[in-house]
Homo-oligomer: A and B are copies of this chain.
Amino acid sequence: MHEKSHSPLDDIRAHIAGMPGPDTEAERIARERDGQLTKPPGALGRLEKIAFWLAAWQGRNPPAAERIEVAVYAANHGVAKQGVSAFPPEVTEQMVANFRAGGAAINQICKTFGLGLKVHELALSRPTGDITCEPAMSERECTATIAYGMEAVGERPDVLCLGEMGIANTTIASALLCALHGGEPEDWVGPGTGVDEAGLARKADAIRRALEFHGPYLNDPLTILTRLGGREFAAIVGAIIAARHARVPVILDGFMVTAAASVLHALMPEALDHCIAGHVSAEPAHRRALEKIGKRPLLDLDMRLGEGSGAGVAAAIIKAAAATHGGMATFADAGVSEKNE
């Protein structure tokens, strides 16, 4: 007799299933306050909706966006040896050093808007398996990395921005999205950091071989993450789950973070209700990936850098939303006449 064996991923499934819903009372109070502010109803557009969303997922009135943290997860990928990136793999580690020295784009963005920054190196010297011929990770390793990501919200910022760095990881993101949503590899690949036509063909070919190799195992989103993913993707999945439990709304960055989030969406669509898409990047498949998870991006600035840069700029919009909602005078306070009957 043989019982179905316990998978280490089952603990993660339990965390996902147990995620709390929105605080509808906090949202109701935010909507009520909004109706009294000195502006025509609806005139702040998405800023108003962001304030309601913050209230619902923070469970707080007024919602806050003072302490915003950017968590960047860096990892290396065995698939890099397939010639899928315009940059050599050592750039991942070099860029981590650049983050620590304050020289990267995300450092300047954090300084500009007063955001905190935490960079997580995920075993850079030990790339994941080459997905064209082996699993990226074992189930145990994937579970451990998700659990690591769950620690990102330990200090409970008001809002968490998620970003990543990892040479060759647009290929991983495309593989995940192709496995989750179907279609041809060509539908999901793009130039990434700047590969040429030949590089693009190598990316699609690597994904096609990976999907063939892992085919029979790709029927469950967490298994797809294990076999085709990478450590930054697993950590981001963990961070999204933990943020929900800790009542921390999340700003997703670009193509990679959206691919990681898509794993959760495939398991349970409402798992991303506490997440907002910070921007749509110039990576062509990002727009389609956002449509699949039903997210309208806040910004559309042709950015395609990763490292949390799009989410970090979007954090400024979130700050404006919280500041207007919390700081504006009401019609009664300011002695302003309301709309004609």
Contact = CB atoms under 8 A, between A and B. Distances in A.
A183 interface: no
Nearest to A336: B94
B298 A298 contact: no
Residue from the set A108, A111, A302 with the largest chain B CB neighbour count within 10 Å: A108
B303 A47 contact: yes
Given A41-B194, A340-B87, A320 B327 contact: no
Copies of this chain held together in the complex: 2
Nearest to A319: B112
Nearest to A300: B300
A328 interface: yes
Contacts of A324: 105, 108-109
A44 B299 CA distance: 13
Contacts of A316: 112-113, 313, 316-317, 320
A29 B324 CA distance: 38
A24 interface: no
A86 interface: yes
Contact of A109 (B113, B300, B323): B323
Contacts of A43: 193-194, 303-305
Given A324-B108, A339-B193, A339-B194, A103 B329 contact: yes
B105 A45 contact: no
A261 B41 CA distance: 27
A38 B313 contact: no
A109 to B, nearest CB: 5
Contacts of A333: 103
A335 B98 CA distance: 8
Contact of A101 (B86, B94, B282, B329): B329
Contacts of A101: 329, 334
Given A112-B323, A335-B97, A86 B301 contact: no
A202 interface: no
A218 interface: no
Given A108-B327, A112-B320, A305 B39 contact: yes
Contacts of A300: 300
Contact of A91 (B86, B90, B193, B336): B336
A95 interface: yes
27 contacts: A38-B103, A39-B105, A39-B305, A40-B193, A43-B304, A44-B303, A45-B301, A45-B304, A46-B301, A86-B339, A87-B337, A87-B340, A94-B336, A98-B329, A103-B333, A103-B334, A104-B329, A105-B328, A108-B320, A108-B323, A108-B327, A109-B320, A111-B323, A113-B316, A300-B300, A313-B317, A316-B316
Given A44-B309, A47-B303, A299-B299, 16 more contacts: A38-B105, A39-B104, A41-B194, A43-B303, A44-B305, A45-B282, A87-B337, A87-B339, A88-B340, A94-B337, A103-B328, A103-B329, A108-B327, A109-B324, A300-B300, A313-B316
The 4 A-B pairs with the shortest beta carbon distances in the complex, nearest first, are: A103-B329, A45-B302, A316-B316, A43-B305
